[in-house]
Structure formats: structure tokens, C-alpha cells
């Protein structure tokens, strides 16, 4: 089965600082998905990456997928308290059960003013 490792498990940064969250797969990724979750709420879809070397940005959040398609990073520039929450990566691999996504355990981000 697909396994995703996220690091760090938790991150505490001061407002305005940049940060990076990593997601590493044991297998080649067919699609890599980033989600954000606030405590007690559902997951909000952020971005999906599918091609090696691909990079996407939304506001101050940039996600990249490496050329080998086994590692992704999520970078937040000039963090704000609104960025706080749990960030999860999810992935599917070619040949997986239809619709099956595997998720990492998440990275808890705290941004203090």
C-alpha cells in the first residue's frame, strides 16, 4: 500500500516567517493532493500536482512535486495566523483501487503574532 510520511509533525512559527512542509512517498505518485484542516472541521482542498517538477501557487502557498514524483513540499511565504491548521498530503498511485487516496498523518501549523 502507499505510505506517505509528512514532516515535521508540528511547526510553530512567528507571523511573517516562511515555512516548508514535506511529504514523502514510498512509491511513485500518480497524483499528489494538499489539504488544509482547521480543528474540528472538514478538509479544504488546496492543490493537486501530477507531473514531475510541477509547481503550483495559490496566494502565499506554493506546492512542488519533485522530478521523481516521490516527494512534495508545501511552502508558505510570510505566514499569517490564518494559515494555522493541519496540513495533510494525500496521494494515489497508478493501479490503486478506484478513488483510493492515501493520506499522511498531517502537520500541525501554529502561527503566533
Partner 1 sequence: SQTIHQWPATLVQPVGSPLSLECTVEGTSNPNLYWYRQAAGRGLQLLFYSVGIGQISSEVPQNLSASRPQDRQFILSSKKLLLSDSGFYLCAWSDGLAAYNEQFFGPGTRLTVL
Which of 23, 29, 63, 88 lies at the binding interface for partner 1 (CB under 8 A)?
88
Question: How far, rounded to the nearest angstrom, does the alpha carbon of residue 31 sit from its chain's CA centroid?
Answer: 12
User: What does the per-residue mask of binding to partner 1 show for 31-70, with x meaning CB under 8 A?
Assistant: x-x-x----xxxxxx--x-x--------------------
Q: Is the dihedral of CA 33, 34, 38, 44 positive or negative?
A: negative
95 contacts partner 1 (rule: CB under 8 A)? no
Which of 29, 79, 84, 106 lies at the binding interface for partner 1 (CB under 8 A)?
106
Whole-angstrom distance, CA of residue 13 vs CA of residue 9: 13
Please, are residues 32 and 55 in contact by the beta-carbon 8 Å criterion? no
Which of 14, 94, 97, 113 lies at the binding interface for partner 1 (CB under 8 A)?
97
Amino acid at each position: 500500500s502507499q505510505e506517505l510520511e509528512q514532516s515535521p509533525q508540528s511547526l510553530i512559527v512567528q507571523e511573517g516567517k516562511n515555512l516548508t512542509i514535506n511529504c514523502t512517498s514510498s512509491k511513485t505518485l500518480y497524483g499528489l493532493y494538499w489539504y488544509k484542516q482547521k480543528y474540528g472541521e472538514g478538509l479544504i482542498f488546496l492543490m493537486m500536482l501530477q507531473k514531475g517538477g510541477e509547481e503550483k501557487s495559490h496566494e502565499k502557498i506554493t506546492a512542488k512535486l519533485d522530478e521523481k514524483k516521490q516527494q512534495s513540499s508545501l511552502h508558505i511565504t510570510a505566514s499569517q495566523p490564518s494559515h494555522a491548521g493541519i496540513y495533510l498530503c494525500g496521494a494515489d498511485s497508478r493501479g490503486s483501487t478506484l478513488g483510493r487516496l492515501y493520506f499522511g498523518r498531517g502537520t500541525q501549523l501554529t502561527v503566533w503574532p
